[in-house]
Structures are given as C-alpha cells and as structure tokens.
Structure 1
Amino acid sequence: MTPVLSPNTQAILLLTAPLIAGRGTASPDLLSPGEYKRLARHLREIQRQPADLVSPDAAEILRACQPVIDESRLQRLLGRGFLLSQVIERWQTRAIWVVSRADAEYPRRLKARLREDAPAVIYGCGDMSLLDAGGLAVVGSRHVDDSLINYTIAVGRLAARAGSALVSGGAKGIDQAAMRGALEAGGKVCGVLADSLEKTTMNREHRNLLLDGQLVLISPYDPSAGFNVGNAMQRNKLIYALADASLVVSSDLNKGGTWAGAFEQLDKLKFVPVYVRSTGEPSVGLAGLRKKGALPWPNPQDVDSLEDVFNVAMPAPTTSPQVGFALFSNNGPSPADSVPSAPVPLDTAPEPQIGSEPLEPVDVVPDAQPPVAASEEPPPVTSEAAASVGEAKGSSQPESNPAEVLFAAVSRAIQQLLSGPMKDVEVAEALHVSNTQAKAWLQRLVDDGVIEKQKKPAGYVLKQKRLFE
C-alpha cells in the first residue's frame, strides 16, 4: 500500500527536494541542511511545523520566519506546488512512495539509530514493512571474480532459508550477488540505492518482486538522481542501520565506499556486529577491518548456526547516541531534545557524518509537533506507572523494593516495544543497556508468562494482549 503524502512531507519536499520531472533542473533556492535546521528550530520555537507553511495562515508564519530564512525565498520554494503535483503523479504511476521523518510510517530503525542523520525524506518502492524486519547486511566491492560472486550468492540463499531478510546496496558485484541469492531462494530483500531508484523499479526483473512484497528498494535521493560518489558513500550507514548483523565480503584498504562504511560502523556507529569473510583468497582490506575490530565470519552452513551471528553484544557507540526509548525522562522534551535535524537537500551537500556534532536525545518526531505515539516512546517512569504494573499482576500495592520498581518500568517499556518480534540485541539497543541485561529482563518476562520467544520470525513477542495500551 502506497502511503498518502502527508502535509508535512509535502512541505519538506517543497523546501529541500529538487522535484526533477523528466529533464528539469533543481531550484537554486533549495534550503541547505543548515538552513533547514535553523528553520525547523524556529518553527518549533513558535509552536509550528512544516505543514503550517502551506496552510491558510501561511503568510503570517512566513513573516515570522523572516529572521531565519528570507520570506521571498520561502515563497518561491513553497510556490512550486504545480511542479510537486507533477512529480507526485510521476512517482505514483511507478508505485514510488515517499515518507518523511514526520510520518509514522518512517522506518523505525532509521529514526532510532541515525537520529539527526536519518534522511528527512525516504523514497521507495515495495513493501515498507520489510524496512523494520532487520536481517543480514552483505556488502562488498563492485569488481570481484566469479568465486566471490558464487560465495556471496550462497550467503544470500542461506539467509533466505533461515527466514532472515537480506539488506544490501544494489550495486553490481557483491551487493547484487547477495540480493540475487536471497531472492532466488524466496527470501526477503531490502536494497538501499544511491541512485536511479526510478529506473531500477521499472526494471522488468524487479517489478514482480516489488509487487509481490519480496523486495523493497529505497533511496534518500531523488528517484531520478544519477550516480554520485558522495551519495554512494553516505547511504552506507542506512544499510547497517536496517540490519541486525553485517558481512563484508570484499574491500579495498583505506579507500572506497565499502571500507568507509565498515570503518564508520566499527569506529563510531556500532549498530551491528561487523563480520568479514574468513575463507578463500586473502584480502588486505578485510585484514585491515579485522585490525579495527571486525569479526571473522564463522561460515555458518545451516539455519541454527546462522542465527548465532546475530547474538553478539555490541559495545556502546563512541558518541553514545540515545535511541527513541528512554526509561527515565522528564514530562516533556528539553530544549536540546527539540532541536530538529535537517533533511538532506538532495542536489547539494552529502549527508552529515554521524558524530560530526554532539548528539542530543531525540524523544519527539524531529519535524512535527504532535508527540510520538505510545508504541514508539514509553511514558516516564512514575509511582503511578509502577502501581499500574502491580495492579495488572493482581497486586494491590506496588513493590517498594527499588529493583522491583525499576523492573516494573522495564516491563512496561518492553511490552510497548514488542509491537512485533524483536531480538534481544534490538531490545538492548532500544533501551540503551547491555545485551546481557536485556537478556536477563526478557527471560524474567518469559518466566512470568508475559512474553515468549519464537523461532519464525525469530524474536520475542507478547504472549497475550499487552497490558498497557
């Protein structure tokens, strides 16, 4: 199902996107990342959101934004409504959908993991639900020999047999081999493209897979955008952010997109375990990644052994980003929490690097005023919350033991997290605790009969209707 383009998304597109239909050119007035960030911050300060810029009382709001962005420039950008309607019609005829960070449909993993650096707009085609399915990311060089192609195809097939989605970049070579192996075996695949989304979705080979829900293709760049080295480098973090574990099949040393993406993951982001191929022809690039902390791929041969590669505890990221779930918070966001992030202006500078500036906790939708839904953000821990947990278990009084008060809040947060199957490493990441601690809490909830662990799809699920809704 193609999501309806929300008013907030329409406004963000008008301000930042090239809106290229056919052979058109982008407007020179497009807001840069810094400019949009300042504008979004100002809108929040005056208790407005992007959609208000195209509302009936927009004139007054535009005047109020004059100190940040020139009013006439905003008017020119927002006046591109006809052009927007043209490209929307073009996208719809090709089954291309668009979501922004202000939309509930925006991929949860990207918003939680990348936070300020999550692309403000995502274009895509196919089943959006695959974007939050996790799975195995497989990346590597474009130019490789047949032996590595066959090796990678086999990895993709194993992932499919295990019921694990496969995430890759869609580039020729290793990326396409991994995706091909998974698709041929009936698996689910997410391709994160750096260019040519529109052209790729119209490929006859891909069309049925997209329509059948086996494949989803996304890009943070305009569907008509051509290849750009910077875009290709910057989209790598999206691949890792959508996965549960990653395998680098081949890489140059200290150069190239594969190396840059894996190094960033090992050095800063640390979203998922990074494995490197451990058999076949030696590689100086893979050896270099091993020195940076990458793990040798254990060469799993069956479904059970593949599952083990996902159960590796990750060290805390260098920048220690907070994700969208907080066990303890104030009743509302602080000024730092409400600083919005800038969308990527799709025809100018590449996305900012994670860690390029201090990261603040993000507890609200960055570009919109309405609060995050309960399924995305647990409420603050209070004595009333602890009491409700006690009452739900048949106890007239909450436990006074501080550990029990804490666990009551943890139980509430975990139950709200489990809107779908989640692995222990995902729960640990969402709660910003160690994998060991998350496993202990999950096991206690299993013992209490609140949740259960299932095999297909792998993860913990609520055993009964959640208590807190």
Structure 2
Amino acid sequence: MKNNLSEDSLAILLLCSNLATYGKTGSFFKPFTLKEWDSLSHKIIESVMKRPGAFFYTTPEEWRECLNLTPENIQRIQNLLTEGGQLGIELERLSSLGIWVTTRAEASYPARLKKVLRQKSPVVLFGAGDASLFQSEGVAIVGSRNVDEIGSYFAEKLAGRCVTEGLTVVSGGARGVDMIAQNSALRSGGKVISVLSNSMETSIRQRENREAIVAGRLLLLSSTHPKAPFNVYNAMDRNKYIYALSHYAVVVSSEENKGGTWTGATENLKAGWVPLFVRVGGQVPAGNNRLLEKGAIAFDSEVLADEAVILRNWLSDNIQVIVNYESSKRNENNISSPKKDHQLAFRFDDSTVSHQILDNPEQLFAGNDLFTVVWPYIEKVLEKSQKTEKELAEMFNVRSVQIQDWLKRAVDEQKVKRLIKPVRYVVASYGPSGQERLPVGNIEQAVVFESCE
C-alpha cells in the first residue's frame, strides 16, 4: 500500500501526529490529542468547512468564525500546518522503507478498529505489510513476557492450530508469549498481525520480518512514529488495538493485578470488545484464575491435543454468557422476582441462540458486572438487524425489564442507537455528543439522530 493520501489525511497528519516534527528541538506546538481531535472534527463536520482538508483553503479568521476556536488553538493550527514540506519528505522516506500511513479519513483504515473502538480508535496508523490481512479472521494470543515451559508450549500449539485452520494470529510483538506465538505462526507458513510497542523501523530491518512482509504473511502496525522506541504508556495503549483487530482473544499467562497482559485483559472484559478465553490447568499463574472469575472463558490444553476439534468451531461454540434474572438493577427498582431464580448460559453461533439452565451458576459468575459479559452477544445480534425489546427478550429468554435495563445502559454508553416508530435498536458507531458517524467519501460525516422518549 502506497502513501497516496487525501488532503483530509494530510491535514490530519499535520494536526494530529508528530510525523513532521519528530526529533525536532526548540519550541513548537504539540499535535492534537485523540480527545481534542474528536472535539475539533465534530466542529469541522458541523461547519461549512465540512472536511479537514478545508484548512488548506481557508483563513484563520474563517476558522475562528466557523469553529469558534480560541486564539491559542488558531495559532496552534497555523503553526502545525506550516510543516507540510517536512511532512512530504518524511512520507517519502517512510515509503522507501516500505512503511505506509493511513488515517481515519481513508478507506484503507481498518474498519474493524472503528467498529469496535469507536472514539478510541487511533486517528493515525503506520503499517508495513499487506493491509488485506485486516479483512481476515484473527485470534489474539497474548501473555506475560516471563512465561514458563508449559505456557510456551500452549502458545506454540495454539498458533499452529490457527495456521492450520487459516486463522490470522494477532500479536503484541513483545518478548514472551507474543513472540512465541508470532514466530510459531510464521514458521508454519501462517499469517500474523503484529501491533508493536517498539520502533517499527527497527522491527522492519530484522531479516525474518522483512521476508515475512514480502511474502504477504506479516503485517506490522503501530499508532506511534515509526522511530519511536519502547514506551510503557504506548505499550499499554496498544493493548486495545490487539483485541479490536481480533475476533477472539486467548490469554496464555497473566500475573494478577499487574502487567500489560492483566491490564489489557481486564480492559477488554470491561469494554466487551471480543470474547476472552484464558488457559486453565493446575500450573497456570494466579492471574489466569482471577480472569476466569471475572468472566473469561476456560481454555483447556486438551482442546489443542484433540486433533478432531476444529478450533474455529470450538471457539464459537464455547462463547457463554451467564445471565441472572435477578440483576442488581432490577432489585434496586423493587421489581418482583420469578418464583424460581433461574440463571441461563447462552451459546451463540452465526444463526441461532440456544440456552440451558445451570444447576449452580452462582459459582461461575459471582460478584461480576453481568452487562459487560452479556453485551458482546447482544451486539452480535444487533449487528445483523434491528431488533425490538420484545424480540431480544424472547431471543435471550429473559424478561423484558432485564433487556430494557441492558439497552438503556447501552444507549447511555453510546453502544447502540434507539430508533422510534416502532422503538427498536441498532448498533451504531458514535462520535462526540452522541452523533453517529457514517463514512462519506474519504471523511467521516456526522448525522444527528434524535430520539423521543
């Protein structure tokens, strides 16, 4: 993929990245942060400017009138836009190294990142390799840097099974579990998306990486400048990208209450980005068992030992959601309980939702937030078609008041859009102030949807 970028992307790169100023000394204005850009882009879309590229054809006075900007931000934009010449030089240099750049204004930007992370998706991405890997079905294999022999063997076997079944391994590219899984997949002829926490320029110079990139089997990805060295904050921040680019995630080994693996796994459980599996057994770290208690799904090594098991099907079949009729929200509202306090475990595949009553479900999900585990599967249904409260309640075999609680929370957290006449729900990607963003051309345009209670 070449760096043939739109004017919108060029403006975004100047305003939101340090690509043109990296390593520059002296006093200069800092690029807009993700939060700042979401606010500014919202103003741009609602104004007569409409697109970031309009900055190149309008005056500071027009920015002030159209966007209601402070004098400080007007000066900031002016100064950042003066680096266009250096930006062009840097884009040419990166292209010569085989590194491409994309932004949220480009069709080449991975749609899954936008869909899953919404406002948290990075504005700018740097990559090296075949971008078509974004379209593949991925399994994130993550874990601690210091992993024991049993965990290493599990990571190797899992990566090998992914390759056999044509699944892409999504890795963090770090020492330990990440690199064990990545190298195992590449040695077996498989494909890998590696979301880096260290310098892309350093990684791309490694012979094995270059060969895999040329062969179309490795895609390196980063949201930071390709020269940027390892940084703890960036390493933590990129965890969400690893999860969002995958369809399933497997934690091989995790410490408890510390480390990047624990932070990323618990963040995923809370946000409900993708189903989370965790290795279980007699010699797993304490963090694995704690993640299981928090709602992760058990993954026994016997699954990998059984050659008759199709991994893709096993992962899909074992996505379970524990649903409690007696949610805390309903108790707070003093809603009467059914005579028998049943809890259900749901199994999902591509077309059906079935359920079974568990005898002792309290032990499986005690003390956890049910919504964060339930939501990914409600979302999966709503991605296919709009549904009413009644339809969802019947599908999940819960009372209407429970579905109403979950949907209200999903609307409050901007996970779904509530339509009227009749009232129904649909998944939507929201921007600032509750606006749904829809792609028009090469730039996101906003459409406001108002609902009447």
TM over 0.5: yes
- Residue 375 (structure 2) aligns with: 316
The structure 1 residue matched to 2:140, chosen from 133, 137, 141, is 137
- Residue 53 (structure 2) aligns with: 51
Task: Check if 1:305 corresponds to 2:310.
Answer: yes
The structure 2 residue matched to 1:294, chosen from 296, 311, 320, is 296
SS of the aligned residue for 1:277 comes to: strand
What is the CA deviation profile of residues 185-204 of structure 1, one whole-angstrom value per residue up to 9, with x for unaligned ones? 11111011123112112221
Task: Check if 1:74 corresponds to 2:73.
Answer: no
Task: Check if 1:188 corresponds to 2:184.
Answer: no
Task: Check if 1:95 corresponds to 2:101.
Answer: no
- Residue 365 (structure 2) aligns with: none
Which residue identity is paired with 1:182? A
CA distance in 1, matches of 2:247, 2:434: 23
- Residue 29 (structure 2) aligns with: 28
User: In 2 relative to 1, CA 239–29 (structure 1 residues): closer, same or farther, beyond 3 Å?
Assistant: closer
Which residue identity is paired with 2:271? L
CA distance in 1, matches of 2:172, 2:434: 27
- Residue 12 (structure 2) aligns with: 12
User: In 2 relative to 1, CA 206–329 (structure 1 residues): closer, same or farther, beyond 3 Å?
Assistant: farther
User: In 2 relative to 1, CA 369–34 (structure 1 residues): closer, same or farther, beyond 3 Å?
Assistant: closer
What is the CA deviation profile of residues 347-384 of structure 1, one whole-angstrom value per residue up to 9, with x for unaligned ones? xxxxxxxxxxx865444469935689xxxxxxxxxxxx
- Residue 443 (structure 2) aligns with: 368
- Residue 433 (structure 1) aligns with: none
CA distance in 1, matches of 2:23, 2:434: 38
Query: What is the CA distance between 1:232 and its match in structure 2?
Result: 0.9
Q: Is the 8 A contact 1:137 1:166 kept in 2?
A: yes
Compute the RMSD of aligned alpha carbons: 2.9
- Residue 165 (structure 1) aligns with: 168
Which residue identity is paired with 1:185? S
SS of the aligned residue for 2:87 comes to: helix
Which residue identity is paired with 1:119? P
SS of the aligned residue for 2:310 comes to: helix
- Larger RCO (alpha carbons 8 Å, 6+ apart): 1
Farther off after superposition, 135-144 or 292-301: 292-301
CA distance in 1, matches of 2:41, 2:290: 41
Q: Is the 8 A contact 2:98 2:128 kept in 1?
A: yes
Q: Is the 8 A contact 1:132 1:242 kept in 2?
A: no
- Residue 38 (structure 1) aligns with: 39
CA distance in 1, matches of 2:2, 2:209: 17
The aligned length equals 347
What is the CA deviation profile of residues 165-201 of structure 1, one whole-angstrom value per residue up to 9, with x for unaligned ones? 1101000110000011111111111011123112112
Structure with a larger share of its residues in strand: 2
Report matched runs for 1:337-376 at 5 Å: 340=431, 361-364=436-439, 368=443
CA distance in 2, matches of 1:203, 1:20: 25
User: In 2 relative to 1, CA 338–224 (structure 1 residues): closer, same or farther, beyond 3 Å?
Assistant: same
Q: Is the 8 A contact 2:436 2:446 kept in 1?
A: no
> What TM-score, normalized to structure 1?
0.67
Q: Is the 8 A contact 1:136 1:167 kept in 2?
A: yes
> What TM-score, normalized to structure 2?
0.70
Q: Is the 8 A contact 2:142 2:177 kept in 1?
A: yes
What is the CA deviation profile of residues 139-187 of structure 1, one whole-angstrom value per residue up to 9, with x for unaligned ones? 0011223442233112111110111111010001100000111111111
Query: What is the CA distance between 1:222 and its match in structure 2?
Result: 1.3
Query: What is the CA distance between 1:328 and its match in structure 2?
Result: 5.8
Which residue identity is paired with 2:374? P
Which residue identity is paired with 2:221? I
SS of the aligned residue for 2:85 comes to: helix
SS of the aligned residue for 2:263 comes to: helix
Q: Is the 8 A contact 1:52 1:58 kept in 2?
A: no
SS of the aligned residue for 1:309 comes to: helix
CA distance in 2, matches of 1:338, 1:366: 17
Q: Is the 8 A contact 1:194 1:228 kept in 2?
A: yes
CA distance in 2, matches of 1:294, 1:77: 44
Which residue identity is paired with 1:161? T
User: In 2 relative to 1, CA 225–363 (structure 1 residues): closer, same or farther, beyond 3 Å?
Assistant: same
Q: Is the 8 A contact 2:278 2:296 kept in 1?
A: yes
Q: Is the 8 A contact 1:8 1:49 kept in 2?
A: yes
- Residue 230 (structure 1) aligns with: 233
CA distance in 1, matches of 2:436, 2:44: 19
- Residue 261 (structure 1) aligns with: 264
Query: What is the CA distance between 1:134 and its match in structure 2?
Result: 2.4
CA distance in 2, matches of 1:30, 1:148: 41
CA distance in 2, matches of 1:366, 1:255: 43
CA distance in 1, matches of 2:3, 2:88: 16
CA distance in 1, matches of 2:132, 2:418: 26
Query: What is the CA distance between 1:69 and its match in structure 2?
Result: 4.3
Query: What is the CA distance between 1:315 and its match in structure 2?
Result: 1.9
- Residue 279 (structure 2) aligns with: 277
